[in-house]
Structure 1
Amino acid sequence: MNEEALFIASRDNPLVRELRKLAQDNHAYRKLGRVWLEGDHLCRAALLRGWRPATAVFGESAWPRWRGEFGGAAVRNVIVADKLLGEISSLESPSPMGFLVELPASGTVDPQGAAVVLDRVQDAGNVGSILRSAAAFGFAQVLAIKGTAALWSPKVLRAGMGAHFGLQLLEGLALEDIARLRVPVLATSSHGGELLHRAPMPWPCAWLLGHEGQGVSAELEALASQRIRIAQPGGEESLNVAAAAAICLHASGAAR
């Protein structure tokens, strides 16, 4: 085996056990303080944002292919026997490489910063999609109320497509944390408030995005200076929260 990488063949190796837990347990990153980025797309996205992985992991047969691009990216390289990839990954088609990175230190709410507030949004696909919109339209911080899907879970990471690495992500927050914001707070609503295309769009601002079924809580909505609804001439009752987020955040970004 190449001298530049450590080869692992045992499923009981501590690193393999750690990767298995990170890949299959949505909350393991909180206990371990590390995040598993599976696949070359997420790894490239992390590198483009200046992240330095602690460990790069390659399947045995994939190492020759990826060595040139990723071989010097991490503090250390590890090659695992191909048969172990399926045990580590939760995907039907495991990726042949990935990075193990340190979980960013938890920051604090920036009271003056543009923000997206997630109020118990529970679907991982929705959360990841919202993170992509937040990054695309200039919202630097995402504030997740307790009960929201784990922001660094494997499914949210895949749905986020690299957006995580350009955002400050705070989770497990409470009402008093959001009350620290000193920017206009806008609450999405499917039944009342100003129509988005007619409403003045302040910048910076904070958008409140609520639970898929229950919407924004009454306590959180009380912090809002504006309630906003999206015109739906087709007659649908409401939009998916990720779709609504993309529309609202784009409107804010375009008004900067």
Structure 2
Amino acid sequence: MKPTVHHISSRDNPKLARLRKLAQDGSGYRKLGALWLEGDHLARAALQRGWRPSLALMSEPAMQDPALVVLAEQAAQIVVVPKALFDSVSTLECPAHMGLELALPDSPTLQADVDTVVLDRLQDAGNVGTILRNAAALGFKQVLAMKGTAALWSQKVLRAGMGAHFGLNLIEGLTPQDLAALQVPLLATSSHAQTELHRAVLPSPCAWVMGHEGQGVQAELMARCQLTVGIPQPGGEESLNVGSAAAICLYESARQKLLR
């Protein structure tokens, strides 16, 4: 069935006001129970995973692009606006001129026995999105975010994740006590560890804990870790960016798993 098409020309239209809230408020998705995906890349990533949008927002010029129209037609309704009105919703320097609204999924159940990444109060949205992308690429199925971590479904994290969100079990707002439900060992990196990452036999499945950019892993979580390892840094820098450290650790886990 073809979606209904509505043409809107008023900046104050309630649908546009709602989409601005989703796009411009980092935690708006929690308040409204919905997500805003701007651009064809994120739209395709969601649709390929079976997500179905409730609304597509299209600029008038975008309606002339058959490929974008095909994406928009997956929604229950299409709202068409002048280019200037679409720009008033977008937070991008170069707006994509098409976007989807989707229902925020119900809070998923923590999976006790799958490869997992735990984010401990990471503040930088780029780091969080990069780690989600690495997790999806390297076979880690679940990401658990402790309270204080950047909002997982915010626009900056969504863009950095490049579609990884839709293939992961994502749970946020957790406490260290919530991790007692995990039935896999917790691992972390430490500059004080005696064992280097590439010399350690890593358990599989496992849960890698990635800590705050400045403070590292909080003491309560570090005490729960079965193994801590160091990442050799022959170049002599003080520390690695947490996104880079996560990529190295997850790759080593995936590499050892393939060799077993």
- TM-score with structure 1 length normalisation? 0.96
Does the Cα contact within 8 Å between 2:108 and 2:171 map onto a contact in 1?
yes
SS at match of 1:194: coil
1: CA distance, partners of 2:252 / 2:108:
27
1:21 matched to 2:28? The reply is: no
Q: What is the aligned partner in structure 2 of residue 12 from structure 1?
A: 12
2: CA distance, partners of 1:179 / 1:211:
20
Corresponding letter in the other structure for 2:103: E
Does the Cα contact within 8 Å between 1:193 and 1:226 map onto a contact in 2?
no
Q: What is the aligned partner in structure 1 of residue 188 from structure 2?
A: 187
SS at match of 2:224: coil
Deviation at 1:191, TM superposition (A): 3.2
Mapping of residues 164-243 of structure 1, within 5 Å: 164-243=165-244
| Range with greater deviation from structure 2 (200-209 or 178-187) | 178-187
C-alpha deviations, 1:200-246, integer Å up to 9, x for none? 01111000000000000010011100001111111111100000000
SS at match of 1:242: helix
1:33 matched to 2:33? The reply is: yes
1: CA distance, partners of 2:104 / 2:13:
22
Mapping of residues 147-158 of structure 1, within 5 Å: 147-158=148-159
Deviation at 1:110, TM superposition (A): 1.4
Runs of 5+ unmatched residues, structure 2? none
Q: What is the aligned partner in structure 2 of residue 48 from structure 1?
A: 48
Corresponding letter in the other structure for 2:156: K
SS at match of 1:73: coil
Deviation at 1:93, TM superposition (A): 1.4
1:138 matched to 2:139? The reply is: yes
Return closer, same or farther for 1:193/1:51 CA change in 2, 3 Å cut-off.
farther
Deviation at 1:108, TM superposition (A): 2.3
Q: What is the aligned partner in structure 1 of residue 130 from structure 2?
A: 129
SS at match of 1:12: coil
Deviation at 1:18, TM superposition (A): 0.8
SS at match of 2:193: coil
2: CA distance, partners of 1:188 / 1:67:
44
C-alpha deviations, 1:156-189, integer Å up to 9, x for none? 0000000000001100000111122111110122
Runs of 5+ unmatched residues, structure 1? none
SS at match of 2:210: strand
Deviation at 1:68, TM superposition (A): 4.3
Does the Cα contact within 8 Å between 1:121 and 1:149 map onto a contact in 2?
yes
SS at match of 2:181: coil
2: CA distance, partners of 1:58 / 1:244:
39
Does the Cα contact within 8 Å between 1:190 and 1:237 map onto a contact in 2?
no
Q: What is the aligned partner in structure 2 of residue 114 from structure 1?
A: 115
1: CA distance, partners of 2:145 / 2:194:
23
2: CA distance, partners of 1:142 / 1:254:
20
Identity %: 58
| Range with greater deviation from structure 2 (29-38 or 63-72) | 63-72
